[in-house]
A and B are shown apart, each in its own frame.
Chain A
Amino acid sequence: MTSPSSGSTVIAAVDFSDHGEGIVREGLLLARAAGESLHIIHVAAGEPILAGYDKEDINSFTRSARAGELTDEHRRVRELAETLTDTTGVDVHPLVVMGPASETLLTAIDELHASHIVVGTHGHGGMHHLMFGSVAQELVRRSAVPVLLVPVVKR
């Protein structure tokens, strides 16, 4: 009861969408208050499945394009973490992982012994009319640690 949790790090799950800043800000507030570190995790989409295409040149083309994107995404997360560590005093770690978002994040909570997870309420599900995104919904249902949901800013 004295401490919100027994974990040692806060996870902020970002996807570089409009409200990524809010997710990182809330993660920093939690981490700073508890004297914990912050992991900024970007869950990258898996390799596209090219049903119906079997030509090797298409596969190799998309693979190299995807590799380029991943390198770019990784660089952005790393730079963000470095900047935040320098400016906020919170120990911020970058992480890019590939896989299905909610499963990957649930695994990360376990493996990093996270105390909290911060996510946006829209997500990778692609159904933007569902403000409570499918990833956020799945995390709320299954995460053993408190989930902080950052709402989409209406434009």
Chain B
Amino acid sequence: MGKIVVGVDGSEGSRQALRWAFAEAKLRGGTLEAVTVWQYPITASLPTFGAMNTPDDFSTDAKNTLLAILAEEGITIDAPVHVTTLVAEGNPARALLDAAEKADLLVVGSRGHGGFTGVLVGSISQQCVHHSKCPVVVVRHT
């Protein structure tokens, strides 16, 4: 029983990675963990007291977005693959690497939301490849 970890940030590239990871987990009879990462927004001025979202708000939003993406891709709890979700805060590459610590594969899209148009391999994917202890699959954004 293998475990495949995939990073999902809502970008089309990450959806392709998710589709690949789900199909591969199904073929291997393994489990799939979909990981999404949120970070505190950088604000130029302090919001009105009380209006600032709490960590719980950010985390819940991230979780709901992730579940919506999974549903849109046809990945539900009654899928033939055991699917878990993980919502983490902080540096995306760090969070993915931590989640994949004991995984068989870490799957990332070649490019997510970050970076400039024209960048072929995103910085998060690059960092994952650089530092991962388990094999990394980079799914090309087509």
Residues of A close to B138: CB separation below 8 A: 140, 146-147, 149
Q: Which label, helix, strand, loop or mixed, suits the secondary structure of the B interface?
A: mixed
The reply to whether the CB of A145 lies closer than 8 angstroms to some CB of chain B is: yes
Q: Which label, helix, strand, loop or mixed, suits the secondary structure of the A interface?
A: mixed
The reply to whether the CB of A55 lies closer than 8 angstroms to some CB of chain B is: no
The reply to whether the CB of A148 lies closer than 8 angstroms to some CB of chain B is: yes
Q: Given A131-B130, A149-B135, A151-B135, are A144 and B140 also a contact pair (CB < 8 Å)?
A: yes
What's the count of A-B pairs with C-beta under 8 Å? Answer: 64
The reply to whether the CB of B52 lies closer than 8 angstroms to some CB of chain A is: no
Residues of A close to B133: CB separation below 8 A: 151
How many residues of chain B get a CB closer than 8 Å to chain A's CBs? 26
How many residues of chain A get a CB closer than 8 Å to chain B's CBs? 28
Q: Given A1-B23, A29-B28, are A146 and B137 also a contact pair (CB < 8 Å)?
A: yes
14 further contact pairs, Cβ within 8 A, besides A29-B28, A116-B137: A1-B19, A1-B73, A4-B20, A4-B23, A30-B24, A132-B126, A132-B129, A141-B121, A144-B140, A145-B140, A146-B20, A148-B137, A149-B129, A151-B135
- 24 A-B residue pairs with Cβ-Cβ distance under 8 Å, sorted by A, are A1-B23, A1-B73, A2-B23, A3-B23, A4-B23, A4-B27, A22-B135, A26-B135, A33-B24, A116-B137, A121-B130, A131-B130, A132-B130, A140-B129, A141-B120, A146-B140, A147-B137, A147-B138, A148-B105, A148-B136, A149-B136, A150-B135, A151-B132, A151-B133
The residues of A with any CB-CB pair to B shorter than 8 Å are 1-4, 22, 26, 29-30, 33-34, 116, 121, 131-132, 136-137, 140-151
